[in-house]
Structures are given as C-alpha cells and as structure tokens.
A and B are shown apart, each in its own frame.
Chain A
Amino acid sequence: MIELPEERFPGRDAKVTVRHLAKSFGDNVVLEDIDMTVLEGTVTAMIGPSGAGKSTVLRCLNLLERPDSGTIDISGHRIDAESRFTNRQLYALRREAGMVFQHFNLFPHMSVMRNVTLPQQRILGRSKAEAEQKSHELLTRMGLGDKGSQYPNRCSGGQQQRIAIARALALEPTVMLFDEPTSSLDPEVGVEVLEVMHELANEGMTMIVVTHEMGFARTVSDDLVVMADGRIIEQGEPKRIMEDPSHPRTQDFLRAVLQR
C-alpha cells in the first residue's frame, strides 16, 4: 500500500521531488520508474533488502550516479536526466543536498579542520577565518571540538562519521542524504551518530535516510519507503507499516530483520 506524504501532511511544501526515475547498469535494471516526494522538515527513511536500489536512489539524487531518465528537483533546482544540463546546474543541485556516506569518505590527507573548512572556502567562497569559525562551531556541536588538528584516521569510526556530518552541514544544505550512515559502525558507536541525526531531525532538517536501523526508522522518521527490486513497494506511516505491512515482500523483509 502506498500512502503519499502529500496526503498525510497537507500544506507542507515539497523539498525533493523525483519523477519517473530509472537506471540500469547494462542489462541489470536497478531502478524502475521511481516517484518520490519529500516534504520540508520531514524525515524519510528508506528500507528494504540489499540490492533493492535504495542507495542508488540516493546517489541519483545528487547525480553521483547519472540516471537514464527521470527528473530530480531539490529546492527548486531541477535536472532532467535525459536533457543536457550545465556543470553550474549540477553543482547548484549538489549544494542543496548534503550527503553522508557509509564509509565516511573523509579526505585522509587533510586535518579534520581542513576537511570541514576547505569545501566552505571553495564552494561558498567563505574566507578562511569565517570558515574555520563555522567548522569549530559545528565540530563542537558534534562533541568533537578538540579534534580539529587531528587527521581523520586517528579518529574512531563514530567520530569520523560525525565529522562527515559536520562537513556536509557546513555548506548549509537544505536537505541531508544519509546512505547507511551506521552500517560500518559498531552498534554502540552507531548510537552516537543516530543521536546526532535525531537532533538534526528535531531542528527541522529535511532528511532522507537509507538505513537498516529499524528503531530509527520507526521512531524518528515521518515517512517510510520500502523498496524491493528497484521499485517502491510500500510507503506511508512508519508505525503502520511496521506493525501491519501490506505487501508480502515487506512482510518477509520485516520478519527477517526483526527476528534477529
């Protein structure tokens, strides 16, 4: 069953709109006609068995993966995969969306401070002093105020992921994309990251989170998207879907995950 968020939260503006998104790698169809809307100030969690295409949707949103067809609109920056677009349009779209990766993808040859500062200088044109002040502010908020001069691989996984979140937030995106942010972390460390994400959600950040953390999906997200075989098979109120899934694939998936 698909309950669209527009119906559940009338009066909210759409922040991310995806229409007819499709992507294949060779003969392998990864995404098939995906329609998705994310409303301002809401958290959308995406779950489903591995290989379902959740991460690919996220990577198509900021064009890390070029879709074969479909349109993407983030905060009014619109790109149609089938027509030409300029680099300027591409960078403008990416600036709206901050992305957090499963493996953090920090720059290992730069200090933590420079990891957070350099993008602000290059992308927003901030002065070094201005950018460093912002970085310090964000790192402190993440509980990492003293880590600025360290190198990323001297930090724990949980710390690295929070640095990556700070790096993305420093560019003041209007949407945050999380691609399995806790999957490569130990459970007790993942909690630190989930807490930061929860806080962000409470502050009204619009978020899309691909995750295997059912607790987070259930309690923090406003909208739950279940994917299988490159399609959205179920969408709606998280608690409703978790307690009473209507699609047999959702039932199988939830049974498998929750039994663990």
Chain B
Amino acid sequence: MTFFTDAVQFLPALLGGLRVSLALTGLSLLFGLPLATLLSFGTRSANKPVRWVSIAFVEVGRGAPALVMLQFMYFGLPTAGLTLSALASATLALTWTTAAYCAEYLRGGLSAVPRGEVEGSMALGMTRWDTLRYIVIPQGWRIALPSLMGFAVILFQMTSLAYTVAVPELMSQAYTNATMSFKYMTLFVLAGSIYASISIPATWLSVLVEKRLARHL
C-alpha cells in the first residue's frame, strides 16, 4: 500500500509539473504551427533563396535531436552572449522542432490534394489564389490533421526532456522528488502513468479523427 500513500503525497508536485509540461507543449504549438504553415509553402517556393532557407530550417529542426536543440539553446547560446530563461530556451528549441516536423506534414497534406480537384477548380475559372484558399489549403489541412495531432502527442512527450535544462515540468518534479526521497520507482512510475493517461487517449482521438475525416475524402 505504500505506493498509494506515496502517490498521494507526491501527486500535487507532479501535477504542478504537468501544468508546466502542458504550457510548454501549448506554447511550442502556438508559435510552431504558424511558422510551419509558412515553411510548408517556403519549401516549395519558386524563389530559390526562400526555398533553400526554408529547407535548411526544416532539415535542421528535424535532423537534430530535440535534446540537442534544448541543450544548445540553454547551455550553448549563453556562451555566445545570449542568455534566456529555462522556459524561454525550451520553448525556442521545441518551437523549432515543431515548425520543422509540422511543415513536412502540411507539405505532405497539400501535395496529397488530388490533381483532378485542382483542375476542376481551374477549369471553372477560379483564380490560383482562390483554388489554394478554397480547395487546396482546407483539404491539405484536413489530410495533415491526424499527423499533426499525432505530433502534438510526441511533442508533449518531448517536453519531458526539458528537465535537462531546468524547466520545472513533470519529469523534473519527479526527478527532484526521487533524489530527495530515494523512491525512484514510485515517482517514475507515477510520472509515466500521468504521461500515459494523457498521451494514450490523445492518440486514440487522433485515430478517431483520421477515420472520421476519411469518410469525406
């Protein structure tokens, strides 16, 4: 029974950490998704400098592990004279990662819109911009939505790495309490259960959304 009494004791601290984890997830999506939208067009732009800068940004964001991004922003930037708070540097790092991954999902969604529908719109005499706005973008987003939701779950899990840069999120709370109480197993199992209780239903939801959307497409 000690697990449960311990759990009750540690839960408030962990839930406080969870709020930080969710905030970090939310901030990264808030900044990352608009950036991803721009990049999804940037990587297909006819303008060469725009295209190559966008591709470089995306490839770095996807190629470098989130952990390296976090360490770079928190430990690296100060040596170049730029010191950010723990939360700010973690947000910056995960925003970059989010923008890079989501740009690719959006690009995939946009290019999966069937060519016939674009032609249908063009043949009616719709302008290129109207075709993008009414046909390509709404459907591209729809096609990409399940992947974007799936990524949001991964991002939520990635925030656990922010404990390495002193963000007081869920994992950090678990680790601190564990080293103080020596109840490693209890705290990590508890933290894992909290992560799972959010990630698993969220994943189911994204599968459900995928199935529902598939009916219209």
Given a CB threshold of 8 Å, the question of whether A touches B is answered with yes
Residues of A within 8 A of B (CB): 62, 64, 87, 91-92, 94-95, 97-99, 101, 103-109, 118-119, 122-123, 151, 153, 164, 167-168, 171
Q: A104-B120, A107-B135, A122-B126 provided; 15 other pairs, C-beta below 8 A? A: A64-B119, A64-B123, A87-B128, A101-B119, A105-B116, A105-B120, A108-B117, A108-B217, A109-B138, A109-B217, A122-B130, A122-B134, A123-B125, A151-B216, A153-B215
A69 to B75, CA, bound (A): 62
In the assembled complex, which residues on chain B have CB atoms less than 8 Å from the CB atom of A95? 125
Of all chain B residues, the one with the shortest Cβ separation from A96 is B125
- Select A171's contact among B122, B125, B128, B215, beta carbons within 8 Å: B125
Closest-CB distance, A81 to chain B (whole angstroms): 17
A99 to B122, CA, bound (A): 10
A107 to B120, CA, bound (A): 8
B139 in the interface, Cβ–Cβ < 8 Å?
yes
B142 in the interface, Cβ–Cβ < 8 Å?
yes
B45 in the interface, Cβ–Cβ < 8 Å?
no
Per-position binary interface string of chain B over residues 117-160, scored 1 when its CB falls under 8 Å from any chain A CB and 0 otherwise: 10111111111101000110011001000000000000000000
Closest-CB distance, B215 to chain A (whole angstroms): 8
Would A168 and B139 count as touching, CB distance under 8 A? no
Closest-CB distance, B119 to chain A (whole angstroms): 5
Sample (23) of A-B pairs whose CB atoms are under 8 Å apart:
A62-B123, A64-B122, A64-B123, A87-B127, A92-B125, A94-B122, A95-B125, A97-B123, A103-B116, A104-B120, A106-B117, A107-B121, A107-B139, A109-B139, A109-B216, A109-B217, A122-B126, A122-B134, A123-B124, A123-B126, A151-B216, A168-B123, A171-B125
A118 to B128, CA, bound (A): 15
Closest-CB distance, A108 to chain B (whole angstroms): 5
Would A109 and B142 count as touching, CB distance under 8 A? yes
Of all chain B residues, the one with the shortest Cβ separation from A167 is B124
A119 to B114, CA, bound (A): 18
Of all chain A residues, the one with the shortest Cβ separation from B119 is A64
Interface residues on B, range: 20 to 34
In the assembled complex, which residues on chain B have CB atoms less than 8 Å from the CB atom of A153? 215-217
A99 to B217, CA, bound (A): 22
Interface centre among B120, B121, B128, B215 (most CB of A within 10 A): B120
- Select A168's contact among B122, B124, B134, beta carbons within 8 Å: B124
Would B124 and A171 count as touching, CB distance under 8 A? yes
Counting from the closest, the 3 A-B pairs by CB-CB distance are A105-B120, A94-B125, A99-B123
Per-position binary interface string of chain B over residues 85-126, scored 1 when its CB falls under 8 Å from any chain A CB and 0 otherwise: 000000000000000000000000000001011011111111
Of all chain B residues, the one with the shortest Cβ separation from A170 is B124
A94 to B120, CA, bound (A): 11
Of all chain A residues, the one with the shortest Cβ separation from B134 is A118
A251 to B136, CA, bound (A): 45
Would A107 and B125 count as touching, CB distance under 8 A? no
Of all chain B residues, the one with the shortest Cβ separation from A94 is B125
A119 to B216, CA, bound (A): 20
Would A105 and B216 count as touching, CB distance under 8 A? no
Interface centre among A95, A99, A168, A171 (most CB of B within 10 A): A99
A104 to B120, CA, bound (A): 8
A153 to B127, CA, bound (A): 25
Of all chain A residues, the one with the shortest Cβ separation from B118 is A105
A132 to B123, CA, bound (A): 21
Would A94 and B123 count as touching, CB distance under 8 A? yes
Which residues between 181 and 217 of chain B lie within 8 Å of chain A, taking CB atoms? 215-217
- Select A106's contact among B120, B125, B139, beta carbons within 8 Å: B120
A107 to B119, CA, bound (A): 11
Would B117 and A107 count as touching, CB distance under 8 A? yes
A85 to B10, CA, bound (A): 72
A105 to B119, CA, bound (A): 8
A97 to B117, CA, bound (A): 17
A230 to B171, CA, bound (A): 69
Of all chain B residues, the one with the shortest Cβ separation from A87 is B127
Would B116 and A119 count as touching, CB distance under 8 A? no
